[in-house]
Chains A and B, each alone.
Chain A
Amino acid sequence: MSAILLVDFGSTYTKLTAVDTLIGDVIGTSSHVSTVRTDIAIGYEAALQSLQASFEKPVSFDQIIACSSAAGGLKMAAVGLVEELTAEAAKRACLGAGAKVDLVFSHHLSNQEIELIREKAIDILLLAGGTDGGNAECVLFNAEKLGAAGIKIPIIYAGNKSAMDDVKEIFTRHDCDGYFAENVMPKVNVLNVKSAREMIRDIFLKKIIEAKGIKKIESEIDRVMLPTPEAVLQAAELLSKGYLDEPGLGDLVLVDIGGATTDMYSLSFAAKRSDVILRGLEEPYAKRTVEGDLGMRYSALGIIKPFSREELMAFNQVNQLDLEAEASFRANHVEYIPDSVEAERVDLLLARLCATRAMARHVGKIEEVFTPMGTFYHQTGKDLSDVTHCIGSGGVIIRSKDPRSILEHLSAKHQSPTDLAPRNPEYLLDQTYILSAMGLLSQQEPLLALKIMKKRLISV
């Protein structure tokens, strides 16, 4: 047999997935609480032991590869010029690379913003601004500001190429840890994130995992290859597009409702209709958004925040519960797993709210414009109405007795009529938590990863 071990170093759990390439399937999984604060190897060894114990005889792995979101994941700041243009493009580049974007700044950086970059312990900063040949003044100001402030974290410059030489000079003069990628927005409304994404991944692997104490595990495994969210994005892209003769599922949406965030991934081209006029920054085929205020535990209070006092009172009265107390209990007990039917009901409700809102923020919108020439349609964002599959991942969905009811909240039925949400999708469940592992496997064996996903994602 030929076995590959795929490891996901998460912030809470270290998850192992063993794949036999000859059988062409997953042969075992295990997990253990992550031990990144002490020694990441302890949790890994424990998980490995319980995995080996599940086999008849110990398996020797030909290859062990890992992805990581441990120690807070990859924390990034995106800096651009205009909020809706280069700042948004920079943010999308970070999200596409699997980062958590804690800060987004536009125009000239202020002293307070520089302070925030320090306070939030940002890992990498992406500096953009200006189209190629366009505004250079702002990026030069910001580069100088970052340099003079003594910001020593890696800074990737991905702005106006005409300013690149001057930015390089500023970085050298201030002894900054500078890197250079292609402009994230070379022309107005044109998005170009590939080069910046690759640069982010490189720095993550070379520097960040070392700084977070994850690198030392590489003496026991072959290597850490990706940030976990990027592994998931790659798995979803493979599942959507297919590989060689093996067809993919077509356009799809993936939601991962976690304790701290809700991640949405969509794999589809932005426009489906010829009668709409597209507005705004170009949309990527593989798009990831992260909602930091929507999560089942750490961010539970964020879920109920948009409700007014009166709405909460009315809701509580009808349902005989105190939603605010339930949410704050979950925020204070992040390891809590529902122990009663009522508690499960509350989790289900919160998860539905996460799914509804994360989709509303991710999905594109259509707007009617009445003109003297007749009615026209404006579209901003991605048209997901023809998406064929909605996939659910994350503890609350996987453990739920009614995962479909959570996933249904992604559909047009539960979204505003002007949102271009999936109209009639099929629902799939990542029941065995294999998506990040398959993203890793796809780096070596894309066909196998695709076949396993098609087999293991179950219909609900």
Chain B
Amino acid sequence: MKSIVIGVIGADVHAVGNKIIEYTLENAGYNVVNIGVLSSQEDFINAAIEANARIILVSSLYGHGEIDCRGMRDKCIEAGIGDIKLYVGGNIVVGKQDFEEVCQRFLAMGFDRVYPPGTTIDKALSDIKQDMGD
């Protein structure tokens, strides 16, 4: 089974969406490694190494995602999983900003897929399937 690591990054304790994501991806037939809330970049990366995951899906609902996600791609490269797909979604920046700009900032940080507020996991699922080669 193909593995995906999911979790909520930083000092963020929003647990409900995290469970919905887990449920949906498991139903879609993936091995979901859910590291839960209050997770650090290292927790995501360590879990991805052990589980041989192809995708890390980072959630952030509290507005500080931009700070929490900085340097994550570099750490993946250091840890030997530089080619892993990095997804991020939720309320990932402070306040209401132009999403196109936000998206560009996260792409520049090395994320592969960036989702605006209010995106349901069903929408991301087709991207996941594509990146997984399903």
Contact = CB atoms under 8 A, between A and B. Distances in A.
Interface of A: 81-82, 84-86, 129-131, 133-137, 185, 187-189, 277, 279, 369-373, 376, 378
Interface string B59-73: 000111000000000
A376 B13 contact: yes
Contacts of A129: 50
Interface stretch (B30-38, B100-108, B114-122): B30-38
Given A133-B31, A372-B62, A84 B38 contact: no
A371 B51 contact: no
B49 interface: yes
B18 interface: no
A410 B43 CA distance: 30
Contacts of B11: 369-372, 376
Interface in B1-25: 1, 3, 5, 11-13
- Nearest 5 A-B pairs (CB), nearest first? A134-B51, A135-B52, A371-B11, A134-B52, A188-B47
A208 B31 CA distance: 40
A82 B62 contact: no
B50 A373 contact: no
B46 interface: yes
B52 to A, nearest CB: 4
Given A135-B52, A277-B36, A371 B31 contact: no
Q: Is the interface of A mostly helix, strand, loop or mixed?
A: loop
B38 A378 contact: yes
A131 B50 contact: yes
A372 B64 CA distance: 10
A82 B38 contact: no
A164 to B, nearest CB: 15
Contact of A134 (B3, B12, B35): B3
A378 B12 CA distance: 12
Contacts of A376: 11, 13, 38
Given A188-B33, A188-B35, 14 more contacts: A81-B49, A84-B46, A129-B50, A131-B50, A131-B52, A134-B52, A137-B52, A188-B5, A189-B35, A189-B47, A277-B36, A277-B37, A369-B11, A371-B12
Contact of B52 (A84, A130, A378): A130
A370 B53 CA distance: 30
Contacts of A84: 46
